Structure 1
Amino acid sequence: MEIRHLEYLMEVARHKSFSKAAEVTHISQPTISKAIKDLEAELGKTLFYRSTKYVELTDAGEAILEQAQQIVASFRNIHAQLDGLEKLQTGKVHIGLPPLTAVTAFSHMLGAFKSHFPKIHIQLYEYGPKQIEASLQEGLLDFGIFTPEDSDLFEWIWFEQDPHRIMMHPTHPLAKRGHVDYADLKGEQLIIYNSYYKLHDQIINGCKRAGFIPEIAFETTQRELMTQMVTAKLGLALLPSKICKDFDPEIIAVRPFSDSQLFLELALTWKRNRYLSHAARRFLAFVSDSVPGQI
């Protein structure tokens, strides 16, 4: 049984004629007659008395007509609601983003999106990048902000690439240097990303390539805690340049770091072949337009 069969039933009952029902529905009379016969066969009941002058509903037809009207009305209401969703631009988008990383460009995009689509709610979840990746795979998030690598699992749009700077107390000897490299970090107390970040492993491996095991004072996901420990002279920290540019040089000294591969690279990422709601697809289209040439 299909919705169109019920719609044909309603039209034949309304016009008491197969030919008029066919005319109204813009199909041939044999097609509508066959549809009604198929419906009768499926239900095992005769739905219409047929004569050369008119057709009329049987008792079974009357009972089926009442149900058909409700079913068709509900089906049309579904379409009306979906059309309303499209026109009203409503819905919810679930996005995971790391609490520590610089998302300046993404923050601007979020603000612009909300101004264009105020009825679409953005729900943000602060997770580490590895947890974001796992949540995307489990279908718990629509999008994640991190550095994706597996194109078989994910699709993405790049929107941020930010080199790291090293920050320290202004009285630290390295503050007199024009730049700092891994070798300069030997014997220093480091405050770095925790193990939920791939940058954590990059920093440690960079130190190992320079011939030493780094001394880790603290691992954290909290940017404020990281900067407070630097101002308290408890260690050196590495953060993206867009975060570092806001520091008062009288309180925190910032210097370039020599590792050109140590940069924050962020993408709006989603699971390949995952169903995206209308709201999520609208958000994806907006970001795509904001970062041209990325898809």
Structure 2
Amino acid sequence: MNLRTLRAFVEVVRQGGFSQAAEVVSLTQSTVSKAVKTLEDELGTTLLNRLGHSNELTAAGEIAYRRALVLLAEQSALIDEINDLRGLKRGRLRIGLPPVGCGVLFAAMFATYRSRYPDIDIELTEYGSKKLRECLEAGEVDLAALLLPVDEGFDYQPVRNEPLIAVLPISHPLAQRTRVDFTDLADSPFILFEAGFALNAKILAACERKGVTPRVAARSGQIDFIVDLVTAGLGVAFLPRMLAHKHQHDGIALIPLDEPHTDWHIALAWRASAHLPPAALAWLELAKEQQLSTGHPI
């Protein structure tokens, strides 16, 4: 058993198939298939049930997948600790960011970081919160921007806390209100983010607490498109305040959402057991500096 074989197995599970995994690990599909078969032979049990074009973990596969994530994370930690000896003149910053809000929050920070540490390689990964958590657990990124609360086993540094704003077409009957809640909007179609975005879970949980079953008209991962759909009258959307104000125009109304426990509270998270490399620690320090210089979180 070797780490390359484990890596191939993990990617087959994560990517949903052998061909997709082969692209990620830069191997042929047959090589990935042989690696998984070798692992099954070494463990003496079937790890994946092949169901047509899909694969399902067996009970043994669940155990192997969980243990493989730990081993791969430890390999990454070993490499990073050795790289610590080189300091910030060499190294890499591996950071995962969600598509929602990362430009507004972090674009200027990237420029400052690059000017200070020109020889640090920046590896940016963009996914929704669920996939970012998996990347953290696997040691594929050192830091990830996640919505609070984070899962047990992660440490974090708060970044920004923004209330949600309801984005309504200007023709909506409630467009002149000073505040709205989900009961007020129960008859309006919702435009949500795509599956995997943690903000959706907050919205849907708040609706359930109010006894509201939202009618979802559309989903998208692009804020511009979501606002365009609202402008066209397809439904109402919900954005963190700073993003809503950035996209404000005459065709929409921005109304504060009067719902507890729906704030967009984002933080930089890392595995509690992880050894953070100097490049990641420098990023966290820069985030603190930005907060002190502006008087509020970045």
Q: Per the alignment, in what secondary structure is the counterpart of residue 203 of structure 1? A: helix
Per-residue deviation at 1:152? 4.5
1:93 maps to which residue?
A: 93
More deviation, 100-109/154-163: 100-109
Change (3 A) 1:204 1:112: same
Q: Per the alignment, in what secondary structure is the counterpart of residue 246 of structure 2? A: coil
Change (3 A) 1:189 1:151: closer
Change (3 A) 1:114 1:216: same
1:256 has 2:235 as partner: no
Q: Per the alignment, in what secondary structure is the counterpart of residue 264 of structure 2? A: strand
1:118 has 2:151 as partner: no
Gaps of 5+ in 1: 1-80
1:239-286 per-residue CA deviation (whole Å, 9 max, x = no partner) reads: 001011123431221111101421111111111121333322333333
Output the CA distance in 1 between the equivalents of 2:151 and 2:218. Answer: 33
**Aligned residue identity for 1:189:** P
Alpha carbons 1:191, 1:237 under 8 Å: kept: yes
Alpha carbons 1:192, 1:216 under 8 Å: kept: yes
1:171 maps to which residue?
A: 171
1:272 has 2:272 as partner: yes
**Which one has a bigger Cα radius of gyration?**
1
Aligned pairs for 1:145-184 within 5 A:
145-149=145-149, 152-184=152-184
Change (3 A) 1:95 1:102: closer
Change (3 A) 1:108 1:188: same
Per-residue deviation at 1:289? 4.3
1:66 maps to which residue?
A: none
Per-residue deviation at 1:103? 5.5
More deviation, 271-280/125-134: 271-280
Alpha carbons 2:91, 2:121 under 8 Å: kept: yes
Change (3 A) 1:238 1:150: closer
Q: Per the alignment, in what secondary structure is the counterpart of residue 165 of structure 1? A: strand
**Aligned residue identity for 1:265:** H
**Aligned residue identity for 2:274:** R
Per-residue deviation at 1:157? 0.6
TM-score where L is the length of structure 1 = 0.65
Change (3 A) 1:94 1:179: same
Aligned pairs for 1:27-176 within 5 A:
85-86=86-87, 89-101=89-101, 104-149=104-149, 152-176=152-176
| C-alpha RMSD over aligned residues | 2.5
Alpha carbons 1:159, 1:267 under 8 Å: kept: yes
1:200 maps to which residue?
A: 200
Gaps of 5+ in 2: 1-82
Output the CA distance in 2 between the equivalents of 1:122 and 1:277. Answer: 13
1:225 has 2:225 as partner: yes
Output the CA distance in 2 between the equivalents of 1:239 and 1:150. Answer: 20
Alpha carbons 2:191, 2:216 under 8 Å: kept: yes
Output the CA distance in 1 between the equivalents of 2:151 and 2:243. Answer: 29
2:287 maps to which residue?
A: 287
Alpha carbons 1:208, 1:214 under 8 Å: kept: no
Count the aligned residue pairs: 212
**Aligned residue identity for 2:128:** G
**Aligned residue identity for 2:278:** H
TM-score where L is the length of structure 2 = 0.64
Identity among equivalent pairs (%): 28
Per-residue deviation at 1:99? 0.4
More deviation, 147-156/196-205: 147-156
**Aligned residue identity for 1:141:** V
**Aligned residue identity for 1:122:** I
Output the CA distance in 1 between the equivalents of 2:225 and 2:194. Answer: 13
**Aligned residue identity for 2:218:** F
Change (3 A) 1:282 1:202: closer
More deviation, 211-220/232-241: 211-220
Output the CA distance in 1 between the equivalents of 2:249 and 2:222. Answer: 21
Per-residue deviation at 1:146? 0.5
Change (3 A) 1:247 1:290: closer
Alpha carbons 1:95, 1:123 under 8 Å: kept: yes
